[in-house]
Every structure is written in structure tokens, then in C-alpha cells.
Structure 1
């Protein structure tokens, strides 16, 4: 049975989250070391973010990235060459499909923050960081009841705030790969690196189109997607993916979610009996800060030998590419190669 992670982290995770050698992949960081254009060129820029207008008169210089059990925001900034703008980052995944990305994240400053009981930056610490832009995966990160600085409080000290796509109402069940592109484009606009953002989006779209074209018409295997060694509910399998960006990635890779109808929200809380009775042709395990995700995947296949996935030893272990973020094309390729090796 997966071990229980702190509830706040599990909830935040529920609300979020191949090789890079293929030509046209969107995974790499741009070579330019200077991220933004001149301090005022192209400004002002205004975004309507979750019903709150955010006006920028120059590129942010002191960016704080909240935890949110995600790496979507920090990976997006790094992919755009904006790492030097981050003064405090709380996001980490421990691994990445993008070579060097996990190490790059680890090297970022944390601001010396002591996280609160909600496993993120408390109000006073946030204000003490003197940010000019704060990024949160969902609206959860700006709620006073959670011990966080609100968007109004941040505005009072001159800081802009941004909630990532599908995070406004904290329901990510409708999230798709297009939301990853929206995040890239929004940050491109804010920092006036729109050409760079569009280049990454187009590369990802092209990469995914090439993969999807090769598996089009193939039978779509039933895939179980879940987080390794994580509990979000009371049953044996409470971190099973039901809806969200994961399903869009599966569809583009020529597969379908075996548990898509198990819940109306992003995750299903399932008994061992229900999992055992399902037809599972392949397994995708997402390792959220878990170095033993591969071992967990093999254990599952051994536990359910009746699955076709177990008979064929068909599984993949992924990390940040399955989340909102700039490298979804890598997940599409990796899963497609597992499901349809002859087509690719």
C-alpha cells in the first residue's frame, strides 16, 4: 500500500502534475542567457488572470515560485531562459525527462524559506522576499486561510501574481496540453520573450503531431496511470489518474485511460479489488520526488499478474513531462513507444 504523504501536498499534487534526442523537441532551454528584452520595451503588458488584471510595466526581476506540488512554473521559466529572475523557488520533482532539468532546479535559490503547515511559503516570509511576481499552480497558494499572502496583499507591496491555467477554481480535470502552451505564452508575454515561447510551442506541437500521426489508427490500449508510493485517500489505490492533462497525453500517444470513468475529478480513490478487476494493458507510473518509482511499477505488475500489462511487462516511469509544463511532448513519445513500438 502506498505510504501517506502530508494531506496538503497530496491535495496540491491532485490539483496540478523518452529521450530528448529527437529533433524538434520542445524540452530544451534556450541558449540565450539574457532572458528579457530592454527593461521597458514592449510594455505595458496586461494579463487577465483568473478574473484579476495584472499589469506589467517592465519584466519582473524578483520572481517567487510557490510549491503547489508541481514543477510546471519553474520548468516553464527555465525553458524560456528566465532562471536568473527567480529569487525563491519551492518546486522540485527530483527527476525529469529533460536532461539536466532536475539539477538546474536544484541549483535555484530557495530564499531560505521555512515552509508552513501547508508546505509552502507563509505570508510574512513571502512579503519579506520582496517579490515583483509570484507564481502559484492554483488559487490555493493565495488563500489567507492557508496562511499565504493574498493577491491583494501582494499587490499592496507592488507584486504581481499569476495562477496557472485551470488553477483558478482548483479543478484541473479539464486540463490539456494546450494549457501547457498557454502557460508558456503567458510567461513569454510577461517577460517579452514571446518569440522564444512560440518557438517552444511550435516545436512541441510538431513533435506531438509526428508521433500521433504514426500511431493513428492503431488499437488504443487501456493504460493505468498513477503516482508511485503516494496516498491521497482511504483506499489502497488513491492516486490513480482519472482525468486531466494525463488523458490528453495518453490520447496523443495512442492510448486511453483504463480508469477515466472511475471519478469525476482528476483522481480516483480505488480499492484493490476494483483495480484487480480492470483490464490494464499498460502501466504509467509517475514518480513525484520518489527515487523508487521503477521498483514500485515492477511491484504492481507482480501484484496483478492477470493484467495484460504484467504479461507483456509493459510499463513506463515518467516524471515532470506528465504534468502541466513545457515537456509534454516527451511523455507523448515515451508512452507511444511503449504502446506501439512497431509503429515508431
Structure 2
């Protein structure tokens, strides 16, 4: 079997690498409960009426909040979506890595949100230029100074705390779980003083995941290969949040976090021979856009016509945004994969 470690610094795997995950740290509520939210689609209680979070543990760092953030930057549309779901649209001033998508209606209606970048994280000057006091990112990659991005330290000096999704913390990327999103929701609720609303969103997430578990319970679990294909290069996913998605959706991944190739990185390049040898009954693949989806389908059908997953057309496309840590898309991805693996259970 040919299996090579996929280096996180290579451009082609930067997006899959950004989805990997890291250290779970406990949610710390150092102060009393905040006020409840009566309208989830609008801004929550004014900052003056909410209780600041105090200290929050995130990726091995202690974040300090003595006031409620009012100039938040969402580093992907998925981060925007979760902030909106928590009723915080009016707290957002910018979005990054928008991939050509229009702002969500809730953000557009505020009249103050700008898009900082399209396919890559925003440059240092661009991010600092919107004067953020809070930056919500799916991974730590978005703060890589060597890439020309504002570092966590630079943002701190400018008066902004930087929060990395729990599943996107470097130390946790191989052991991340979909449930890490619940930690993020709780932390954001504390940071913005909307704990009651956050508790309701957490319960919504738990219910959605439990519904999937019930739907696939007792069903035969197909052997699943998860990949990201670029050109003729196949990167398999063997650990991290995506691995957990397969399990929750009622499948058994053909690779495991205990495999040597995935002990230090959640993804690895595999040869066509390895894919054929694994003989998956279903293939889940992440896509950058519709053109990439069609290109991946064409590649799999042309190169692996006799693999059961291809022969039976059990090819499940998942938008790469849905597997970015700290987004509601994580819940949708589990639901979509479950429907693909167990259509009768939908």
C-alpha cells in the first residue's frame, strides 16, 4: 500500500488542513447568567445589559473579556452563519473567505458588514483595518503571520481577542469530534452575553445529531472512504472531525486515527492502488464548488469503475465549507452523509 503523509504547508491541501481539529478545553463561565434572547434573528440584549464572559479557555490560551464584543469578524461564511444563529448579526463588521458568495441577508441588512477576502484569509492590513475587537476563525491557519495574515499577538495588541474553533485547534485536529461545536456555541454565548440563546442552539444541535443516530441505528454500516481530490491527487481523510462525521452518519471509515499515516496529520495522499485495495462501499468527497464536484465525480468514475462505491453510485459530495470547524455546517454534513449512506432512513 502506498500512503504518503500530506504536508499541511502545501497549497493544495491548505483547505482540507484548515478543517482539521485540536485541543478540547473546558467551557468556563466565570460570571452569572446573561439575559435571555427574545428574537434570535436580531441583535441580542444590549452590551450594557449583558454579563461579560470574564475568561474563556481556547486552544491552550486564556481569553479575557471585560466587555461584550461589538466589532466581530467572521473568518468564513460558516462562522458568520453561527453568529447569526446566535442572534449576533449586528455585532459583525466583516466576513472573510467568502468564495464569491453574497453576504447573508441578516448581515446585508445591517449595512455595515464588508467582505475582506475571497478564497484566502485576509491580509494583515485588511483585517486590522476594520478595527475588530473579536475574530472568530475555523482554524489557527488564518492567523499565520508568515503568510501575511495578522497573528493572534498582533490582533491582541490592536485590542482584539481571537477565537479558534475547538475542532480547529492544532493539538486536537486528529481527535476532533462534531460535538466540539457545542463547546464553541457555549463559549460564544458567554463571550457575547447570550447564554440562554446559546443553550437553545446547543439543544437544537444535540437534537439534530440524536435524530441521525436514531435513524441509522441498527442499519448495516457501509465501509466508507473519505477523500479530497485535486487533479489526479487523492488525499484520504483518516482522522479529525470528518472521520467523526462518517461514524455519526452510520458508516465505518476504511482508515482510522490509529493508522500510522494519520498519527500526526488527519489527511494523507494515497495511491490509486490503495483506493482500489480498500474497496469502499461508499465514497464521501469534499468539494470547493460545483465545477470541482463534477471533476471529482468524473475522475472517480473513469479511474475506479469497478470499486463498489462507484459501481453502485454511492458517491456523496459535501461542500468543503460544511466541514470547517465551528460551523453549523458540521451538523448539516452529518445529515447529508447519513442520507447518502442510508437513503431508506431519511
Question: What is the TM-score when the length of structure 2 is the normalising length?
Answer: 0.78
Q: Structure 1's 341 and 50: CA in aligned 2 closer, same or farther, altered over 3 A? A: closer
**Inter-partner Cα distance in structure 1 for 2:213 and 2:103:** 27
Q: Contact 1:76–1:183 at 8 Å: present in 2 too?
A: no
CA deviation string 1:182-203 (max 9, x = no partner): 1122112111222222222212
| Structure 1 counterpart of 2:254 | 258
Q: Structure 1's 193 and 338: CA in aligned 2 closer, same or farther, altered over 3 A? A: same
**Inter-partner Cα distance in structure 2 for 1:79 and 1:189:** 15
Q: Contact 1:63–1:132 at 8 Å: present in 2 too?
A: yes
| Structure 2 counterpart of 1:336 | 338
Match status 1:245 vs 2:241: yes
| Structure 1 counterpart of 2:218 | 217
Match status 1:82 vs 2:82: no
Quote how far apart the aligned CAs of 1:88 are: 1.8
**Structure 1: segments with no counterpart, 5+ residues:** 1-5, 18-29, 96-100
| Structure 1 counterpart of 2:48 | 40
CA deviation string 1:77-106 (max 9, x = no partner): 1222323322221133678xxxxx985599
**Inter-partner Cα distance in structure 1 for 2:300 and 2:117:** 36
Q: Structure 1's 120 and 8: CA in aligned 2 closer, same or farther, altered over 3 A? A: farther
Quote how far apart the aligned CAs of 1:293 are: 0.8
| Structure 2 counterpart of 1:55 | 64
**Inter-partner Cα distance in structure 1 for 2:87 and 2:243:** 29
Q: Contact 2:282–2:314 at 8 Å: present in 1 too?
A: yes
| Residue 15 (structure 1) aligned to one of 15, 18, 41 | 18
- Local SS of the residue matching 1:283: strand
Q: Which deviates the most, 316-325 or 252-261?
A: 316-325
- Local SS of the residue matching 1:182: helix
Q: Contact 1:293–1:317 at 8 Å: present in 2 too?
A: yes
- Local SS of the residue matching 1:189: helix
- Local SS of the residue matching 1:342: helix
Q: Contact 1:36–1:59 at 8 Å: present in 2 too?
A: no
Q: Contact 1:94–1:102 at 8 Å: present in 2 too?
A: no
Q: Contact 1:282–1:339 at 8 Å: present in 2 too?
A: yes
| Structure 2 counterpart of 1:312 | 312
**Structure 2: segments with no counterpart, 5+ residues:** 1-8, 21-37
Q: Contact 1:15–1:266 at 8 Å: present in 2 too?
A: no
Q: Structure 1's 103 and 239: CA in aligned 2 closer, same or farther, altered over 3 A? A: farther
**Inter-partner Cα distance in structure 2 for 1:103 and 1:294:** 26
Q: Structure 1's 175 and 220: CA in aligned 2 closer, same or farther, altered over 3 A? A: same
**Inter-partner Cα distance in structure 1 for 2:116 and 2:227:** 30
Quote how far apart the aligned CAs of 1:161 are: 1.7
Q: Structure 1's 40 and 149: CA in aligned 2 closer, same or farther, altered over 3 A? A: same
**Inter-partner Cα distance in structure 1 for 2:11 and 2:112:** 23
**Inter-partner Cα distance in structure 1 for 2:10 and 2:113:** 22
Quote how far apart the aligned CAs of 1:159 are: 1.6
**Inter-partner Cα distance in structure 2 for 1:61 and 1:160:** 12
| Structure 2 counterpart of 1:179 | 180
| Structure 2 counterpart of 1:283 | 283
**Inter-partner Cα distance in structure 2 for 1:102 and 1:299:** 33
Q: Contact 1:9–1:119 at 8 Å: present in 2 too?
A: no
